[in-house]
Amino acid sequence: MTKQNVIKAEKNKKEKSSVPAVEKAFDVLELLASVPDGLTMNDIVAALGRPMGELYRVVLYLTERGYLSQDPVTDRYSLTLKLFELSHQHDPTERLIQAALPMLQRIAAKSNQSCHLGVHNRDSVLVLASVQSPRPAGYSVRTGALFPVAQTSSGHVILAFSSDEAQSRYIARCRKADRDSIKARLKRIRLDGFEDTESTMIEGVRNLCVPVFNTGGVVGAITCGFVGQLDNTSSADETLTILRNTSIELSQTLGFRLESSPFEAALTD
């Protein structure tokens, strides 16, 4: 296929997937979001490079629906707080907990092990949700508990899939003597797609930890503190497989697109 045909195919694909009126509305909203003082109708037309006839009704409709307001003195249009209000109707943390809890329960039921969901809270890991093993005895972590990132698999797994800048900021705050080993640990986790290591806090507990993503990137990690018992129904490797499959399912529920992620190979190998 020639370069010209490739460009034509991409253009046709975009045209088929676009909805003109919606596209214009988003163009207007995104433009005004970048101009705190607002713009007149003529300014909007000039900035977007579209005819007045294409944008006039869109701007009027957005104003009628309460997304824009017009200053009666300057005739400038600007964003209202309606988008802000919509974005806060569903707390993202609550949504994460609600989506994760039934999946954590499923992990515990399948593996007979306790598990929990942790998120970064500055230099700590906060346990948002925890499900105990259905067995009469086992190891579990309390919901609401805070642990230093340095002591947790969750913290390192989240960091491993965070931006290079976030990793650099964290490493810069660590002791110089530890920096090389931390870099190597984060690199290994990113390549493997998980961490499987002995707990640094509880003897005899094996941390199995996997990342959780949403549309914006990594948001947390699910950890199982695996405890070996004589009549285990699932081995550590089997439990890790359960964790990895469930974390991908949870991530996709949160809007994560595995097929377009740079971590696809690590998460599915």
Residue extents of the structural domains in the chain: 3-87, 92-268
Q: Which amino acid is at 216?
A: G
For the chain, 269 residues long, give each residue's pLDDT as a single digit of tens.
454 554 444 445 444 445 688 999 999 999 999 998 999 999 999 999 999 999 999 999 999 999 999 999 999 999 999 888 887 676 788 889 999 999 999 999 999 999 999 999 878 999 999 999 988 777 888 999 999 999 999 999 999 999 999 999 999 999 999 999 999 999 999 999 999 999 988 888 999 999 999 999 999 999 999 998 777 778 999 999 999 999 999 999 999 999 999 999 999 98
Q: How many C-alpha atoms does 21 have within 13 Å on its Cβ side? A: 5
CATH of domain 92-268: 3.30.450.40
Contacts of 143 (CB under 8 A, 6+ apart): 116, 127, 128, 129, 130
Largest alpha-carbon pair distance within the chain? 79
What top-level class would CATH report for the domain 3-87? Answer: mainly alpha
C-beta separation of 68 from 79 below 8 A: yes
Which amino acid, one-letter code, is at 239?
T
Q: Does residue 232 contact residue 224 with C-beta atoms inside 8 Å?
A: no
pLDDT of residue 90: 67
Three-state DSSP at 98 gives helix
Torsion of CA 258, 264, 267, 269, to 10 degrees: 130
Contact 194, 209 (CB under 8 A): yes
pLDDT at 269: 84
pLDDT at residue 18 in the model = 56
